[in-house]
């Protein structure tokens, strides 16, 4: 990020049984409120589920997932999703931050665990909305390889009335990050946009912008 760059650039990962267009709609209020601070690039997960949902014009559209529970358990499709993120960084980057929603937030945590401990990580910060630590065997084996916490600047958004990802599941994410801020809100499974939460997001983005400028002045790019 340069001094002449006003906005952060954030790569977004949608939730399970969604696609980029669905998340674009569901995150519309959030992205509109934050457009002064960030631009958002939303990508499709690589694995297509059998079911479809109507798109904005009423035509059937595929829904997607970042990994599957098919056999063998040692091949959930995670590697393909990791490579998709890497390709996005190479082709559409550089990005300042990574944002994930639900399963996408879980993938963001896995990605951070694998790659954000490097000297020059792909992202300078991560936002996990309704995040959780995946209990898939392949993923647990990855996260159990080290006790070293992830130092990247992080924001975990937790809905106290989330009936899909319970609070206790989201709270476990904090065990993996050393610089994590939690935003609890009284809502459910979504991105909260009340005035109090907007202030938290804005402050976080402002801090991230300062962080990115500082790193660039030191010759470190995210």
DSSP character at residue 177: B
**136 is an active site residue:** no
What are residue 158's DSSP bridge partners?
A: 184
Q: Which of 33, 42, 46 is nearest to 11 (CA)?
A: 42
Catalytic residue among 154, 162, 170, 185: 162
Catalytic residue among 47, 136, 184, 189: 189
Rounded to an integer, what distance in angstroms lies between the CA atom of residue 6 and that of residue 36? 8
**102 is an active site residue:** yes
**139 is an active site residue:** no
Catalytic residue among 102, 106, 130, 134: 102
**Residue entry with tokens 């896995």:** 110
Rounded to an integer, what distance in angstroms lies between the CA atom of residue 25 and that of residue 146? 38
Distance between alpha carbon 170 and the CA centroid of its chain, in Å?
Answer: 13
Sheet holding 8-13, edge to edge: 38-43, 8-13, 97-101, 125-129, 153-159, 180-185
Residues classed as catalytic? 102, 162, 189
């Amino acid at each position: 990020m340069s001094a002449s760059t006003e906005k952060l650039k954030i790569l977004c990962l949608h939730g399970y049984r969604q696609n980029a267009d669905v998340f674009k709609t569901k995150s519309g209020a959030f992205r509109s409120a934050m457009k002064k601070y960030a631009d958002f690039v939303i990508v499709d997960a690589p694995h297509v589920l059998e079911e479809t949902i109507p798109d904005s014009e009423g035509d059937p559209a595929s829904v997607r997932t970042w990994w599957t529970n098919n056999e063998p358990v040692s091949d959930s499709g995670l590697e393909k999703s990791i490579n998709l993120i890497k390709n996005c960084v190479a082709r559409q980057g550089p990005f300042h931050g990574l944002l994930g929603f639900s399963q996408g937030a879980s993938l963001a945590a896995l990605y951070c665990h694998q790659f954000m401990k490097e000297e020059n990580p792909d992202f300078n910060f991560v936002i996990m909305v309704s995040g959780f630590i995946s209990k898939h065997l392949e993923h647990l084996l990855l996260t159990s390889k080290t006790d070293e916490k992830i130092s990247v600047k992080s924001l975990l958004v937790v809905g106290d009335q989330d009936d899909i990802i319970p609070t206790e599941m989201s709270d476990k994410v904090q065990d993996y990050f050393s610089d994590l801020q939690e935003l609890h809100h009284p809502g459910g499974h979504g991105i909260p946009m009340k005035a109090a939460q907007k202030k938290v997001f804005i402050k976080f983005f402002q801090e991230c912008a300062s962080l990115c400028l500082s790193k660039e002045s030191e010759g470190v790019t995210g």
